[in-house]
Structure 1
Amino acid sequence: MKKLKVEKVKLNNGVRIPSIGIGTWQIPNSENLVLSLQSAIELGYRYIDTAAIYENEPSVAEAIRRCGVKRSEFFISSKCWAANRTYDSVMRAFEESLRNLKLDYLDCYLIHWPYTKGEPLAWQSVNIGTWRAFEKLYEEGLVKTIGISNFQMHHLVSFLARANVAPAINQLEFHPGYTQRSAVSFCKKNGITVEAWSPLGHGALLDEPLIKEIASHYERSVAQVILRWCRHHHVVPVTRALTAEHQIENLESFDFDLSDDDITRLDNMPLMGFSGLEPDHVSF
């Protein structure tokens, strides 16, 4: 397979990461996942996103082992699940992820969801308490980049005021029809790189007439238009693509530009493709 070039994005800690990642959410730990990741690696993907709750870290490890690519070329990210919010439980969860991934260090570790239960002072203290363990892992060099996921602006205000190390990444649900403008704008103003999970709106956007019209104009696919729109907003998309065909399609999303008018049309789409996972109301 021909390896395609992927540009890099510089984080607030100086680390440079690929401008597109390959995601593994809702993909079981299996030989199929290993083969899919092998294909992605051969094509040029170096950013692999997983999480403890996905229960597929061993498949990521096996794909890395088989590919023969230097460890230093990869950006491997995992996430600490909501059940692990104390200092000690974060440390145990991190060690388990390292064992599952068969790695000596992680390139990125994220708090998967903010704690939001109870009075503000209570959940604010829990979130920053969790972060203290992340800061320790970062200081010890066990993880190169630390960040958060699904944090909204009201979570971030108190969090940043008390953090010793600012998060480098906030991974959010972000796509046309669900742009989370306040959170994205706040992150940008504070030097936090935004990543997009489910940038295609869980597949709901693939048949959206407006995006199909725009895609036809540029002679591109709907997915390519959406991913290019993400990068226009300086958001790093984390895509789930199991086949080589879709992996190539996604990698070829960045060699064209959308007009300002088309960007605005995509920005202003009505609510669509939203997962329903609102951080202040999830049950975990």
Structure 2
Amino acid sequence: MVTKPTSCTALSCPAVPLHNGLNIPILGLGTSHYGGYSHEAVLYALQECGIRHIDTAKRYGCEEALGKAVTESGVQREELWITTKLWPGDYGYQSTKQACRDSCARLGVDYLDLYLMHWPDSMVPGRSSQEVRLETWRALEELYDEGLCRAIGVSNFLIPHLNELKDCGGIVPHVNQVEFHPFQQPMKLVEHCRKENIVFEGYCPLAKGQALTHPHILELAKKYGRSASQICIRWSIQNGVVTIPKSTKPDRIYENCQVFGFTLTSEDMAYISDLHTNQKLIHLTFPIWKG
């Protein structure tokens, strides 16, 4: 039995401004496929922890279940920040528009707070990824103009992909969501996003649990009287990164929310930053396309 915590809303969870004037909560709850969704955990996050930012994707197969949890939670739609992602198999102008509407229907919402292209590479036979990317982005821009998406962005895009969209002269992505944890710190990409006024959002902040047993992280956890996961999440947030740890366990979600009552020193921030080894974990669960 998990002890009910003080609501996260009472902690005044900070938000990060997007270049269109909206604000995205700096801490959210991530979901995933292959057992990465729990109805109980989402309800707990919304009702007991005050989480208002939830990240999902068509690929994860839990949009419909998430929509039911949101309805059951009783939290008003306008209080929530819901992000979902467009799978490369749906890239293309018309298919993108239909996929967005389908995601809204599964989630039971009239609009998305943030809609992301899940990968830079496409799965459209006979067409270059660049051509399909630009066509897909044009569809996202129109969905944004129509109000179906309050913000639009990308995921796993590198600097050349971002420059490609910039050269088109349309809407600059509001967000780029990329793997970010102590062992994977793409700081050149982070700096580029900041220069272009693109909010950088990081997934896998705990390195799929691998960071939780690292001696440096454990040393700092002991020093601050915090858990290893709280050290990792706090480090990510102090880097100005929107952070979306995943968990299906209520007690872990509660633990992951308690990161606004302490601050890591600059020396300890650097201590964790020194752990960078360019280790990418995403290929363990997702294919990476070429093109």
TM-score past 0.5 threshold: yes
Query: Please, which of 41, 44, 53 is the counterpart of residue 39 of structure 1?
Result: 44
1:192 aligns with 2:198: yes
> Identity over aligned residues, as a percent?
34
2:91 aligned partner, one-letter code: R
SS at structure 2 position matched to 1:205 = helix
RMSD over equivalenced CA pairs, Å: 2.1
Q: How does 1:84-99 map to 2 (within 5 A)?
A: 84-99=90-105
| TM-score of the pair, normalised by structure 1 | 0.92
Residues 131 and 163 in structure 1, CA contact (< 8 A), matched pair in contact too = no
Residue equivalent to 1:4: 8
Quick one: structure 1 residues 163 and 240, their matched pair in 2 at CA, closer, same or farther if it must change by over 3 Å? farther
Equivalent of residue 156 in structure 1, options 154, 158, 162 = 162
Letter aligned with residue 184 of structure 2: Y
After TM superposition, give the deviation of residue 28 of structure 1 in Å: 4.2
1:220 to 223, 226, 230: 226
Structure-to-structure mapping, 1:74-93, within 5 angstroms: 74-93=80-99
Moved more, 143-152 or 264-273: 264-273
Give the C-alpha shift of residue 126 in structure 1.
2.2
TM-superposed CA distance for 1:210, in Å, is: 0.8
SS in 2 for 1:99: helix
Structure 1's 63 and 116: CA in aligned 2 closer, same or farther, altered over 3 A?
closer
- 1:201 corresponds in structure 2 to 207
Per-residue deviation at 1:49?
Answer: 0.7
Matching of residue 24 in structure 1 with residue 28 in structure 2: no
C-alpha contact (below 8 Å) 2:141/2:171 kept by paired residues: yes
Give the gaps of 5 or more residues in structure 1.
none
Any gaps of 5 or more consecutive residues in structure 2?
A: none
Alignment length (residue pairs): 278
Supply the distance in 2 between the matched residues of 1:34 and 1:264 (Cα, whole angstroms). 37
Q: Within 1, Cα distance between the matches of 2:212 and 2:199?
A: 26
Q: 2:183 aligns with which of 177, 185, 191?
A: 177
Letter in 1 for 2:39: V
Following the alignment from structure 1 to structure 2, what is the Cα–Cα distance between the partners of residues 99 and 243? 27
Pick closer, same or farther for the CA change 1:257–1:27 going to 2, 3 Å.
same
- Matched residue, 1:59: 65
Distance 1:82 1:164 in 2: 21
2 CA distance for matches of 1:231 and 1:271? 20
Q: Which moved more, 1:261-270 or 1:75-84?
A: 261-270
- After TM superposition, the runs of 4+ consecutive aligned structure 1 residues lying more than 6 A away are none
Instruction: State the shift of 1:272 in Å.
Output: 6.8
Provide Cα deviations, 1:1-25, integer angstroms capped at 9, x if missing partner: 4312322221111111211110111
Contact 2:33 2:59 in 1 (8 A): no
CA distance 1:164–1:90, shift in 2 (3 Å) = same
**Contact preservation (8 Å) 1:124, 1:159:** no
Alignment of 1:71-150 (within 5 A): 71-115=77-121, 122-150=128-156
What one-letter code is carried by the residue in structure 2 that aligns with 1:111? M
Partners of 2:87 and 2:60 lie apart in 1 by 10
Tell me the distance in 2 between the aligned counterparts of 1:167 and 1:18: 17
Distance in 1 between residues matched to 2:278 and 2:121, nearest whole Å: 26
